[in-house]
Structure 1
Amino acid sequence: MPSRGQVGEPAENMLEDLDAAAMAFAARRDGATPTEIEALREKLVHYCLPFAGRIARRYRGRGEYMEDLEQVARLGLVKAVDRYDPERGSFTAYAVITISGELKRHFRDRTWGVHVPRRVQDLSLEVGHASMILTSALARTPTAGEVADRLGVSEAAVLEAVESAAGYSPASLNAPVAEDGAMEFGDLLGGPDDDLESVTDKLTVADLLMRMPARERRMLAMRFYGNRTQAEIAEELGISQMHVSRLLSRALTWLREAMLSDSPPHWEGEARGGRAGMQVSVARDGDVLRVLVRGEVDRDTAERLRIGLRHAITGIGVASVVVDLTAVPLVDAAGVSVLLEAAQAAATARTEFSVTGAQPYVARILAVSGLAGVLRRG
């Protein structure tokens, strides 16, 4: 009767001892002819087939046919037999590692729905295994940081692996999203958006609007976003309806020309070089200094007004400073700040300070900003 583990005996007639069978194969291989070695190799592979099948069954239920898994496991078994060296230890341990590696490589290379880097695929499997262990130990779902500490990797790598796991089996666009099957997942995806063609024009208009004076920007917003009439705009800005019509026409004409040119055209009323056309002139009548301002006072021109008022207030023999805003259609927050600073400086220098000629819209802004006491009519 053959000894236990002899190569060539069917597995069902005796207990499997893969290590003994492999040792016998290695011993008989030495000094054998190529034909004899091939016969011994086939017998050992046939003897180990049930062992490879058991390892393959560990990976069932993952979306692959069992027949395919068995074929991959048998390929790994053949590699283990061909590469086996008795001096390196147990054949069984070596075969387990080789066959499992082939099965994992099969899942990694053949079953992912989208291409994912190999390192991320391997880490995804490790993250899943570590998550199961930590869930059992902690009685809760572990955090990405806890999984990262267990695996010795960064938290960002764990998050990347978790996100990439979704690429293993992507959802089908034909999957139903309702019980009656009337709607599929692909029906939820958006179609072509015609408005995308106008994105570039909208961005260009937004940039051009920021190049316009604040008053014109406000008027355009009130007219086209607030649906205000020209009469309502004129009443709020304290100007005539005809003036509003002229300003809107000029602004729209400039926008059209700017949209069709490579560089924005010169804005009427703006000084060359890009600075707003505000002018400050000073006239003295005895100890009264009159500061005449023309144009819009905003953040681009406020500094010039600040310098002019500072020199006027600190001038020798000046008892009163009058700021004439008759020709000023707009004063923004920067301009208000300059006038407040000038009023305080005049009070410190014991110089009378007043603002005259302010248009209704400008006067309301100055009044609510704390300058009602220096406003004068005329």
Structure 2
Amino acid sequence: MRRVSQRQSRLSSAQAAELQRAYRSDGDLAARERLIEAYLPLARSLAHRFADRGEQVEDLVQVGSIGLIKAVDRFEPARGDLAAFAVATIVGEIRRHLRDKGTLIRVPRRQQETTMRLGHARRRLTRRLQRAPTHLELVAAGEITTSELAEAARVSDARSPLALMDDAPALSADDVFHASEDRVAVSTGMRALHRRERQALRCRYYDDMSQTEVAAALGISQTHASRLLASGLAKLRANLDGNSDSSVSSELDSGHGDSRRRPGRAA
């Protein structure tokens, strides 16, 4: 995670802590406004990191500012450093915005039909094999052609359930949380977890934070964050094992312990 400079925040850690205490304890709205104003340069700086994603920078700055306000309102001084918590919250807000905006991109009808055919083919072969098929198996079974697989790959982004890797099962642990067909099962499984495990998983997968950012957002060590993520995923996988119609459990088996980020993502 990028280190927050004094120039970006214009407040020392002690000053920020004092303002936060005034806001949290006394309801001092002037202290809240001072914190937001002081950390706005940080929100702008973080927004510029995502300037190559096809969004107007000023729009990203607005989204980052919303994340900053959430950080100031949610932060508890006992968690440690407000700046670290703000970075994690701002980045999570921007990433969620970009992810959600991505679903609004218009895809040509022919490509939509190809993607739907691939989904139907995958489900048919999954029922036949009693496991998620590889792409080689999909082609060999005559369910879809290699050119159609390539077309589906172009349509899907890095978070799609159709993100293709040679001869690999369909979904990664990251993608599980964005697969619409599995959201109900995942939501039910999440409710059975401890509160801190749910918080860690939501930060990591829904808010798209790195493990370092999860630790900062929850005010815990990276080691503790790693344990929460591992235990939460293990329990979630166990909760999903009884759902024979869901492919989530087998995919968690293949990816739950991997905390590596996709290329180009800050740790």
Short-chain TM bin: 0.3 to 0.5
TM-score of the superposition, structure 2-length normalised? 0.38
Higher relative contact order (CA 8 A, sep 6+): 2
Structure (1 or 2) with the greater helix fraction: 2
